[in-house]
A and B are shown apart, each in its own frame.
Chain A
Amino acid sequence: DVVMTQSPLSLPVTLGQPASISCRSSQSLVHSDGNTYLFWFQQRPGQSPRRLISKVSNRDSGVPDRFSGSGSGTDFTLKISRVEAEDVGVYYCMQGTHWPYTFGQGTKLDIK
């Protein structure tokens, strides 16, 4: 199985400051169709997960533009340009290139 490794696992951030989460896969996520199926999800306390980013860098509908995704191959990053109080929660990367699809361990973001 493809192992997804996130860092850091805990991310205390001051309101208004940027935040960055790294995600590395144990093998390339480039699919034979040319796409890279790397996704980012947010799970706020008490809520269902919500997809933020699809295929590395495409923001889902309604996702604020302070969220951005980048990367290629095996190294990916989620960035929040200015953290707001509503961003508190756990963030997961996920690969959908190889079955079984696998998630990272999760990064818990909270406010300092």
Chain B
Amino acid sequence: EVQLVESGGGLVQPGGSLRLSCAASGFTFSSYGMSWVRRAPGKGLEWVSFITSSFTIYYADSVKGRFTISRDNAKNSLFLQMNSLRAEDTAVYYCARGFAATWGQGTMVTVSS
């Protein structure tokens, strides 16, 4: 069974940092592009970042220069390093496989003083 499990969310002050992780199982992780997608409270979905199987990386303009996506194929894991966090980054963050055929359960990030 394909499974994605996010972790690392929490409460952080504006300007702070968090590192999200996504543990993947049930498929050949190295063969798939992987994404982070978020949903802010009361808002719609926003594609945050995407890393291909060959490590090409894309970011939404809203996070470019502040967030860094990475992957460790040996550990079947996806990461999102989030720096200089802002209140508008408050959201549930999901990792997703490929064109979001499979999603994790999400991890909540709250940026507030």
List chain A positions with a Cβ less than 8 A from chain B.
1, 37, 39, 41, 43, 48-51, 54, 60, 90, 92, 94, 96, 99-106
Q: A99-B50, A99-B58 are in contact. Are A54 and B45 (CB under 8 A)?
A: no
- Beyond the given pairs A39-B100, A48-B106, A94-B100, 20 more chain A to chain B contacts, judged by CB atoms under 8 angstroms and listed by A's residue number, are A1-B61, A39-B99, A48-B103, A48-B104, A49-B94, A50-B103, A51-B102, A54-B99, A54-B101, A60-B101, A90-B44, A92-B44, A92-B45, A94-B47, A100-B47, A100-B58, A100-B59, A100-B61, A103-B46, A103-B47
A50 to B37, CA, bound (A): 13
Contact of B44 among A1, A60, A101, A106 (CB under 8 A): A106
- Report the bound CA distance from A96 to B33 in whole Å: 12
Q: Can you name 17 A-B residue pairings with CB atoms under 8 Å? A: A1-B61, A48-B94, A48-B105, A49-B37, A50-B103, A51-B100, A54-B99, A90-B44, A94-B45, A94-B100, A99-B58, A100-B47, A100-B60, A101-B35, A101-B47, A103-B47, A106-B45
Bound-state CA distance A97–B103 (Å) is: 20
Q: Within 8 Å CB of A39, what residues of B?
A: 99-100
Contacts of B104 in A (CB 8 A): 48
CB distance from A90 to the nearest CB of B (A): 8
Within 8 A of A (CB), among B84-105: 94, 99-105
